[in-house]
Amino acid sequence: MDTSNSSLSFSDAEIEEFRAIWKKEFKEEITVEQARREAFLLMELYSLLIEPVPEGESDVKKVRFPAPPTPPRRVMDIVPPKKKPMM
- Torsion angle in degrees (nearest 10) through CA of 23, 28, 32, 33: -130
- Flag whether 36 is in a domain: yes
Residues 6+ apart with CB under 8 A from 60: none
The domain containing residue 44 runs over which residues? 10-51
- CA-angle at 44, arms to 39 and 46, nearest 5°: 95
- Flag whether 45 is in a domain: yes
Tens digit of each residue's pLDDT (9 = 90 or more) over 20-76: 999 999 999 999 999 999 999 999 999 888 888 777 665 555 666 677 776 656 655
- CA-angle at 23, arms to 11 and 26, nearest 5°: 125
Instruction: Look up residue 76 and give its amino acid.
Output: M
Provide the number of structural domains found in the chain: 1
Alpha carbon 40 to its chain centroid, in Å, reads 15
Categorize the per-residue pLDDT at 13 as very low, low, confident or very high, splitting at 50, 70 and 90: very high
Q: State yes or no: pLDDT of 5 exceeds 50.
A: no
- Flag whether 47 is in a domain: yes
- What pTM was estimated for this model as a whole? 0.54
- Flag whether 29 is in a domain: yes
